[in-house]
Amino acid sequence: MTYNGKLPESLNVWGNRKIADNLIGEMWGKKGVFTCTVANTMTSIRPGISDAGDTPDLTLFTPAADAELLVSGKITCMKGIQINPGGIPTPATLTKAALELSGMPYYIVNGGSKISPYVPYFDMGGECGRDITSGDSVSNVKEGFEKGKILAESLARGYDYIVISESCAGGTTTALAVLMAMGTVKENLVSSSSPNNPKELKTQTVMQGLDAAGIEPGDLKDDPLRAIECVGDPMMPANVGMIVGAAKAGIPIVVGGGTQMAAVMAAAVALDPSVQGRMFQGTTRWLMNDPNSSMVKLMGSISDEIPIVYVNMDYNKSPYEGLQAYEWGYIKEGVGCGGASVAAIIGSKGEITCENILDRVHSIYREIMGIQ
Amino acid sequence: MTYNGKLPESLNVWGNRKIADNLIGEMWGKKGVFTCTVANTMTSIRPGISDAGDTPDLTLFTPAADAELLVSGKITCMKGIQINPGGIPTPATLTKAALELSGMPYYIVNGGSKISPYVPYFDMGGECGRDITSGDSVSNVKEGFEKGKILAESLARGYDYIVISESCAGGTTTALAVLMAMGTVKENLVSSSSPNNPKELKTQTVMQGLDAAGIEPGDLKDDPLRAIECVGDPMMPANVGMIVGAAKAGIPIVVGGGTQMAAVMAAAVALDPSVQGRMFQGTTRWLMNDPNSSMVKLMGSISDEIPIVYVNMDYNKSPYEGLQAYEWGYIKEGVGCGGASVAAIIGSKGEITCENILDRVHSIYREIMGIQ
């Protein structure tokens, strides 16, 4: 049965519906692959920048722990599990639920890490990113980009579509920096894993980075790889390359994530405008409803040919406070949780629903929290 | 159409036909994945040990160059292309032909390299292996083994069967060393990429390694991972883990390669006897006909439940001397060329033949040698 344009109830579309429907049609009932690119930027240990870890230092462990939770179900790189302050569990719990239900194969890509996950991953020749206030943040950008292209072309041989996502604490700040360097945005529109988005601190940090790199906002409009090199993070080159490579290989692309992925999409569009029409952002209702950021405004400044498909996951009904917190503005996105859910629903022709996914999230949550 | 037990003319079976037929039946017309684990051992630069490179030092570049040739078609890590002395091209030319014709997806696994390929690869936490005469050759053996298991289980989510193979110059010497340490063989039965197999030199080198490790032949019968640690190479832990993981995941396994993979199979059988019946060796007519080694005798000392399926590739009809040399005892196997060919034939229900593959080898050969 082909897709008849009737969106499953578990999903919503924002933006260009025609492109969304075309891509959903190509993915309907087909076999995709999920990837998550992990990386570190030393920007994340600046106090106040990232809540993706119980303490600033622990934010460096979160990407590796996310990869381990997804792939082996067991966290090896740190004690306990990766949580936000207040005990709110990583969105990898939702990603894992969607991947398990859909049976979708998935791979970890290592963009450049301080802490490497104890699972097999695709190495992209990257290194841990330096603090963006250095103005010289990412090494081997061209290598990561080229290897990203090759990787996506390799994966396209075996799968009908690809989800590209990230786990990189501090990534909304680096995204803002790259978007400012490229002139895509002039103000802070990015999100945060905390309900109290430290906007002023992020903007200050970004301006310090641009200063140190000797660039004015907008200077690097036509050179996104240089913008990443100056003030980005090592998740970006690989993911930009993967978008370009997957588009070249002709498979639909789900860009899983929130405002962190805006910089990746903006860079991909600048490098290869033909990627437009071949991807949509896959995210969550939480991200779309975030009063402290604006994915819609952000997207408007990148392209009007990249629709957003978001999943109506609702944790209000959850009996667990750690999950209810998602409804209070904590976390919202990450580890491709939105993209994985959207792909699971489309790949199953809508047979998988938010309800199924929530049940599975609960059993994963109970398991990792040790609840009987 | 299911497999009716009639083997395609391009293939032959040695050993347990019933197991071979069962596995071929499971793979018939199905979608597999090809993997090649690259690694280095410093043993390969000992003069006389390896011909898998134009000079002893260049043998360190051969695995990376093989990976690059397969994945990006362009060799970045060295000038020129990887050849044996005399200008005989790498068997990766045959692997590439089989992969292109079959459309089979393929991934590079990095077991531990001195020279890393400039393509995305699965990192397994390994390092370049030390000379086996140190008696302390491979680091992180347990990590490579565990990550191998996880990787194969991940791949089994997306594919119906797996080909596991290797490119590691010096690998027949390390294989002999591990087989001696385990007591699987008492004499040198391994092959060589040269028609003048330097058997005495290999045996001497192996005995020096066992001495340095303080072990007598057969001492490590029940501890193959320790045998690899002492006198193996970093291709081995990952590939042993992948066999065990793929068998656990329930998919048929093609062990692509020659006598180098004997140590891997022996170790996998010792660690998990249930892998028997779930794999066959996929190799070439050249290897089976090698008068200087004996795959059949070797296999007999490992298990009588691992059949060998080999492809009848014949380069006698080739107009190119560099390829005809395969008929004179050069090369014989490597980079999973036999396994990839066997899998291409079975996966296509015999529609792909040796003749098709030879045509494609010729065009690849012309391209890399710059022949019009």
Q: What is the pLDDT of residues B184-212, one digit of tens each?
A: 998 888 877 778 888 999 999 999 999 99
Where is average pLDDT lowest: A117-126, A186-195, B65-74? Answer: A186-195
**Residue ranges with strand state E in chain B:** 11-14, 32-39, 83-84, 88-89, 106-112, 121-123, 161-167, 253-256, 279-284, 308-311
Nearest by CB to A124, from B120, B124, B157: name it.
Answer: B120
Are B368 and B93 within 8 A, CB to CB?
A: yes
Give the B window 121-140 contacts with A, CB below 8 Å: 121-125
Give the helix, strand, coil percentages of chain B, each rounded to 5: 45, 15, 40
Q: What is the end-to-end Cα distance of chain A in Å, rounded?
A: 41
Nearest by CB to B123, from A31, A121, A158: name it.
Answer: A121
Does B150 lie at the interface with A, CB-CB under 8 angstroms? yes
Please give the average per-residue pLDDT across B59-86, as a whole number: 91
Q: Determine, for residues B118 and A155 on separate chains, whether the beta-carbon distance falls below 8 Å.
A: no
Q: Identify the pLDDT of residue B363.
A: 95
- Tokens for B2, please give them: 């299911």
CA distance B161 to chain A (A): 13
Please give the average per-residue pLDDT across B343-355, as a whole number: 98
Q: What is the end-to-end Cα distance of chain B in Å, rounded?
A: 41
pLDDT at A192 over 80: no
What is d(CA A19, CA B3) in angstroms, rounded to the nearest whole number? 43
What is d(CA A53, CA A168) in angstroms, rounded to the nearest whole number? 11
pLDDT band of A290, cuts 50, 70, 90:
confident
CA distance B137 to chain A (A): 22
Q: Which residue, A92, A72, A96, is CA-closest to A82?
A: A92
Asked whether the whole model's pTM tops 0.80, one would answer: yes
Does B106 lie at the interface with A, CB-CB under 8 angstroms? yes
Output phi, psi for B171, to 5 deg.
-70, -20
Please give the average per-residue pLDDT across A250-276, as a whole number: 97
State what percent of residues in chain B have pLDDT above 90: 87
Does A286 lie at the interface with B, CB-CB under 8 angstroms? no
pLDDT at A369 over 90: no
Chain B hits for A147, CB-CB cut-off 8 Å, are: 118-120
Q: Which residue, B208, B148, B144, B146, is CA-closest to B176?
A: B208
Residue of chain B whose alpha carbon sits nearest to that of A151 = B120
Where is average pLDDT lowest: A294-308, B72-86, B263-277? Answer: B72-86
Q: What is the largest CA-CA distance in chain A?
A: 56
Helix (H) / strand (E) containing B287: helix B285-288
Q: B299-312, pLDDT tens digit by residue?
A: 999 999 999 999 99
- Tokens for A151, please give them: 């990787």
- Tokens for A159, please give them: 């799968």
Calculate the alpha carbon distances from A238 to A71, A206, B130, B176, B190 in Å. 20, 22, 32, 40, 41
pLDDT at A85 over 90: no
Where is average pLDDT lowest: A353-367, B242-256, B281-295? Answer: B281-295
Residues in Cβ contact with A242 at an 8 Å cutoff, skipping those fewer than 6 apart: A35, A37, A109, A148, A149, A151, A152, A162, A164
State what percent of residues in chain A have pLDDT above 90: 87
Q: Which residue, A153, A176, A270, A257, is CA-closest to A222?
A: A270
Q: Identify the pLDDT of residue B369.
A: 87
Are A44 and A330 within 8 A, CB to CB?
A: no
Does A34 lie at the interface with B, CB-CB under 8 angstroms? no
In the A/B pair of chains, how many CB contacts fall below 8 A? 73
Residue of chain A whose alpha carbon sits nearest to that of B111 = A120
What is d(CA B90, CA B76) in angstroms, rounded to the nearest whole number? 16
Are B19 and B305 within 8 A, CB to CB?
A: yes
Q: Which residue, A275, A277, A256, A258, is CA-closest to A267?
A: A275
Q: Determine, for residues B120 and A118 on separate chains, whether the beta-carbon distance falls below 8 Å.
A: no
Q: Determine, for residues A159 and B154 on separate chains, whether the beta-carbon distance falls below 8 Å.
A: no
| DSSP bridge pairs for B112 | B39
| DSSP bridge pairs for A83 | A89
Does B160 lie at the interface with A, CB-CB under 8 angstroms? no
